Amino acid sequence: MSEALLQVTNVSKRFGGVQALSGVGLSIQPGQVHGLIGPNGAGKTTFFNVITGLVPSDQGRFELAGRRYKPTIVHKVAKAGIARTFQNIRLFAHMTALDNVRVGRHVRTTVGWWQAVLRTPAFVREEARITLDAQALLEFVGLGAVANQTAHTLSYGDQRRLEIARALATEPRLLALDEPAAGMNATEKLQLRELIRRIQAQGRAILLIEHDVKLVMGLCDRVTVLDQGKLIACGTPAEVQCAPAVIEAYLGTAATHPGAPA
């Protein structure tokens, strides 16, 4: 097995009197789609937010491509190579689809602020490249035809794809998707699944937190399961579905749910 792209170990987080995470971790290989699931209150959103720098951990070790990184500031995590989306869409509603993606692309700009102020030839050339790259990303996610529409006029499914395009604009090694299928109909979920496969085909790794267990099991190479802030299973979808701890966490014990496997 190749070296892990993302290696997270021994992460703990407490909110007041609540121990949200207790020594959890995960390992994601390059080009892998890795699911993160668990019952409500399992700690998966907190873990996801810790990995992506939105919430500081109390302890833990974080490595990306073999190098330590500190997930304390979101933009620095993006610079390191992790981009994320949010369960509640966070687009710039009154900017065009193209400009939303251009914003993401500016994480990788090389010209200085003074060049932007003076509009030097280097700045103008880079802005032209950013626009071309942003348009190409919109084409990639199927939104090329709506590049000049403002984000709030797009359908819900298109807004989800636009958020993914903006995340991809940062050139992430790992794309972290927070409930990307939430609120989608069956057709939109199928389109999302196809898009994730295309992103994976580029060699990018994907961390997927999702309540739609059927989508996760059909899409992910490996799945990590949390319950009550603790890691209870990690493996292939087939292995995880058969794990007694997972069955109990989702269905209860055989004593309380006679139809559940013993």
What pLDDT is stored for residue 257 in this prediction? 36
**pLDDT, tens digit, 9 for 90 and up, residues 151-163:** 999 999 999 999 9
> Given this chain, do its domains 1-81+172-262 and 90-171 carry the same CATH topology?
yes
| pLDDT tens for each residue of 65-79 | 999 988 888 888 888
Task: Compute CA distances 16 → 10, 19, 20, whole Å.
Answer: 19, 8, 10
Question: Which stretch of DSSP H or E encloses residue 178?
Answer: strand 174-178
CATH of 90-171, one of 3.30.565.10, 3.40.50.300, 3.30.390.30, 1.10.274.10: 3.40.50.300
For residue range 155-203, list pLDDT tens digits in order.
Answer: 999 999 999 999 999 999 999 999 999 888 999 999 999 999 999 999 9
In whole angstroms, what is the distance from residue 217 CA to residue 240 CA? Answer: 9
Task: Report helix, strand or coil for 59.
Answer: strand
Q: Cα–chain-centroid distance for residue 45?
A: 11
Mean pLDDT of 16-36: 96
Q: What is the dihedral of CA 21, 27, 31, 36, to 10 degrees?
A: -30
Question: 46: helix, coil or strand?
Answer: helix
Residue 13 pairs in a beta bridge with 21
- Which DSSP string corresponds to 84-125? E--SS----TTSBHHHHHHHHHGGG--S-HHHHHHT-HHHHH
Instruction: Tell me the whole-structure pTM to 2 decimals.
Output: 0.87
The predicted structure's pLDDT at residue 260? 33
CATH fold of 1-81+172-262:
Rossmann fold (3.40.50)
* Terminal-residue alpha carbon distance, the chain: 33
pLDDT at 259 over 50: no
Q: What is the pLDDT of residues 207-225, one digit of tens each?
A: 999 988 889 999 999 999 9
Asked if the model's pLDDT at residue 251 lies above 80, the reply is: no
Strand order across the beta sheet in which 230-235 lies:
82-84, 174-178, 205-209, 33-37, 222-227, 230-235
Give residue 199's pLDDT: 97
Average pLDDT, the chain: 88
Domain boundaries, the chain: 1-81+172-262, 90-171
